[in-house]
């Protein structure tokens, strides 16, 4: 039985899940899906809600406006990820496959390495729909070699690459290519700004609206970092570059509508102040930690009431670390947003059932929500540590490592997050629970995230870490097929893997990362057998949302 925590008393989430407790007559052991469709039953359905009573009247009026703005991001991401949504949906007769296409924003299964589930669509292009379907990496690179003056626009996060009437590659700004979506969302953000009482939120909404129509996002990122006293928030625009697996140049549209938990955010404040010291203590040579994280970094807890676009595709985000702009990070740091209600859903319906199957019985007491929350939170904090610019003139880490950068960065955040938890417990800054809770919950979390597959940066990062830990003896597998953490060896493996990743990033060592991923970024036969056991047990891989104003009313 999970130890009761104060988190359990504060989260206001209704789960419409696949369990006996929900009254599903088809359920078995509380975990079987209720649709009977093996594709759809990869997901547990979660109703996103919050206590609207804690919002002021003007904030309640803003929520539906921000949701409408988010819907424009959904439309834009469909175009980036696939193309013509309406044409795809019209071509699918089976209602379950149509629903699965909606969940995946296209005809490829994001939890199964982007395997197609619609006949005849072929493999998903590595560049999604950011580039012409017939464009190769070699053609793109040859164009830049011949036209270096095009480099900034072609590699910009905020341009689509298309062919002109003569077949020549050209870059089209998002504000032009997605004019309808960007202008529609901007108008709604300005409408919401008129209702805002908090000066920081009002200014942010206006500057973000301007960013959508000018293609210049840095000023609004800066303003978002300065916003401290808001009761609601919206993260909106082109943000992450995971969808572009050809070059990782292009940012995908997404949105979150959020309600701030001010009490929990206040409790988390102290950890942001510890960042400079944590950076100095990283287990790596000084040259790999010469940058200093911005001092405006903060931590906040939220209930999320709406997801749209990239963050709503396939596996769902449960914590946010933004902005991604390295210049903003170095000047102001980042904000880390912990999405408590979504996090709680994944813990209850996925992580705990996984632990029941794969974690040694005597260590299962260490699977706690507090540890899951802490590991996730410090994962996001760890994104701000390390180095953003290579030490040898190869530019930013992101540009040097290209399409491999996202997976390595997620691996860095995971392992450094655990390193930070360890250090903070040693310093007496973290006192809730035990260190064993964090380590054993972290181990169970590997099984949760590796199920996202090789098409996910988070999935690849967990494959790498599982195999690294296995080789280091950080865990053992008992005769009954359950895993046991060796605390001391895991601590050693955690430190050495932190060193390796930070060095690869600082050196901008593309070939080194490629070799590491080829060696350890895969699922071996034994791990696959254990993952198959989770599937046989009917444990969902991720969640899908019931959301919007019809749920919140």
Q: For residue range 86-104, list pLDDT tens digits in order.
A: 999 999 999 999 999 999 9
CA distance 41 to 35: 7
Q: Where are the domains of the chain?
A: 6-552
pLDDT confidence of residue 178:
98
pLDDT band at 177 (very low <50, low <70, confident <90, very high): very high
Tokens of 513: 């990362």
Q: For residue range 209-236, list pLDDT tens digits in order.
A: 999 999 999 999 999 999 989 999 999 9
Tokens of 301: 């807890």
CA distance 522 to 144: 33
With CA atoms as reference, report the closest residue to 306 among 70, 65, 81, 14: 70
Which long-range contacts does 509-515 make (Cβ < 8 Å, 24+ apart)?
509/400, 510/400, 510/401, 510/402, 510/404, 513/401, 513/404, 513/405, 513/408, 514/404
Task: Say if CB 37 and CB 26 are below 8 A apart.
Answer: no
Q: What is the DSSP letter of 41?
A: G
pLDDT confidence of residue 268:
77
Q: For residue range 512-537, list pLDDT tens digits in order.
A: 999 999 999 999 999 999 999 999 99
CA end-to-end distance (rounded Å), the chain: 34
Q: For residue range 407-458, list pLDDT tens digits in order.
A: 899 899 999 999 999 999 999 998 889 999 999 999 999 999 888 876 677 7
- Extended beta strands in 142-275, E state: 159-163, 169-173, 232-238, 253-261
CA distance 318 to 342: 6
Residue by residue, what is the 3-state secondary structure of 320-349? Answer: EEECCCHHHHHHHCCEEEEEHHHHHHHHHH
Pairing of strands 335-339, 298-309: parallel
Which residues lie closer than 8 Å to 41 by C-beta, 6 or more apart? 18, 32, 33, 34, 35, 538, 540
Which residues lie closer than 8 Å to 106 by C-beta, 6 or more apart? 78, 81, 82, 88, 124
pLDDT band at 293 (very low <50, low <70, confident <90, very high): low
pLDDT confidence of residue 34:
57
Average pLDDT (5-32) is 34
CA distance 335 to 552: 26
Report the mean per-residue pLDDT for the chain.
Answer: 90
CA distance 522 to 535: 18
Q: For residue range 354-365, list pLDDT tens digits in order.
A: 999 999 999 999
């Amino acid at each position: 039985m999970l130890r009761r925590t104060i988190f359990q008393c504060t989260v206001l989430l209704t789960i419409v899940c696949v369990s006996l407790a929900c009254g599903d007559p088809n359920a078995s052991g509380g975990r079987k899906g209720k649709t009977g469709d093996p594709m759809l039953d990869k997901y547990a359905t979660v109703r996103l809600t919050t206590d609207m009573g804690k919002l002021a009247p003007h904030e309640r009026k803003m929520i539906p406006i921000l949701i409408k703005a988010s819907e424009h991001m959904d439309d834009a991401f469909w175009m980036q990820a696939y193309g013509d949504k309406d044409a795809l949906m019209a071509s699918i007769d089976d209602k379950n496959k149509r629903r699965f296409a909606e969940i995946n924003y296209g005809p490829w299964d994001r939890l199964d390495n982007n395997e197609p589930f619609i006949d005849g669509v072929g493999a998903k292009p590595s560049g999604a729909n950011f580039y012409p379907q017939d464009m190769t990496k070699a053609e793109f690179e040859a164009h830049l070699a011949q036209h270096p003056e095009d480099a900034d626009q072609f590699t910009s996060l905020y341009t689509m690459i298309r062919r002109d009437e003569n077949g020549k590659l050209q870059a089209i700004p998002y504000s032009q290519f997605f004019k309808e979506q960007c202008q529609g969302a901007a108008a709604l953000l300005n409408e919401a700004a008129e209702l805002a009482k908090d000066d920081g939120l009002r200014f942010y909404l206006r500057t973000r609206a301007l960013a959508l129509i000018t293609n210049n996002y840095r000023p609004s990122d800066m303003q978002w970092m300065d916003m401290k006293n808001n009761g609601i928030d919206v993260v909106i625009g082109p943000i992450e570059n995971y969808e572009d697996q050809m070059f990782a140049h292009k940012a995908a549209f997404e949105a979150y509508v959020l309600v701030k938990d001010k009490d929990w955010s206040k409790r988390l404040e102290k950890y942001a102040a510890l960042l400079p010291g944590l950076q100095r203590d990283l287990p790596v040579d000084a040259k790999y930690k010469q940058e200093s994280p911005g001092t405006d970094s903060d931590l906040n807890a939220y209930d999320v009431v709406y997801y749209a676009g990239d963050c709503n595709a396939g596996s769902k985000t449960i914590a946010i670390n933004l902005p991604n702009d390295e210049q903003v990070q170095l000047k102001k740091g980042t904000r880390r947003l912990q999405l408590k209600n979504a996090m709680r859903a994944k813990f209850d319906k996925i992580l705990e059932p996984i632990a029941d199957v794969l974690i040694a019985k005597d260590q299962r007491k260490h699977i706690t929500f507090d540890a899951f929350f802490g590991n996730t939170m410090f994962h996001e904090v760890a994104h701000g540590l390390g180095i953003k610019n290579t030490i040898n003139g190869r530019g930013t880490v992101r540009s040097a490592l290209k399409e491999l950068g996202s997976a390595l960065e997620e691996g860095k955040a995971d392992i450094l997050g655990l390193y930070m938890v360890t250090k903070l417990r040693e310093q007496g800054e973290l006192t809730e629970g035990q260190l064993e809770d964090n380590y054993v919950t972290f181990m169970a979390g590997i099984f949760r995230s590796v199920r996202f597959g090789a098409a996910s940066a988070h999935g690849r990062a967990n494959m790498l870490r599982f195999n690294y830990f296995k080789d280091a003896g950080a865990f053992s597998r008992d005769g009954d097929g359950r895993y046991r953490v060796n605390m001391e060896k895991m601590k050693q493996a955690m430190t050495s893997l932190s060193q390796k990743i930070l060095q690869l990033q600082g050196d901008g060592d593309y070939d080194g990362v490629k070799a590491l991923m080829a060696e350890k970024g895969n699922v071996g036969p034994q791990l696959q057998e254990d993952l198959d056991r989770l599937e046989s047990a009917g444990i969902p891989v991720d969640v899908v949302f019931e959301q919007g104003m019809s749920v919140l009313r």
